[in-house]
Amino acid sequence: MRLLLGIALGFVLGLSGYLLSRASSRGEAGDGEGRPAAGGEGGAQELTAPLRRAAHEAVEQAKQAWSEAQQAARQAEQEMLARYYRLRQAPARERR
């Protein structure tokens, strides 16, 4: 499961990084008011906008899943340690 999550996360991060770096290296073609220049690459930007949005959402979901997984791991570790210390303090007869 970790392998699949790692592959998916790597793909999403790589794709989003590629798309963002490609847009910044080209420069934002526009008239200074946030609109694409006439005859420019406005059509290409319109086509990649949903893909960028999806990549950004996927990255945010992956970050949220990672933080939830870390929190669950911490909680499981605390529960395991509590059980361990309870067993260590119990008399030998009760452990059997």
pLDDT at residue 40, as a whole number: 54
Weakly modelled stretches of the chain, pLDDT under 50: 29-33, 37-38
* CA 80 from centroid of its chain's CA atoms: 28
> Please, are residues 19 and 12 in contact by the beta-carbon 8 Å criterion?
no
pLDDT at residue 23, as a whole number: 67
Q: pTM, whole model, 2 decimals?
A: 0.46
pLDDT at residue 30, as a whole number: 46
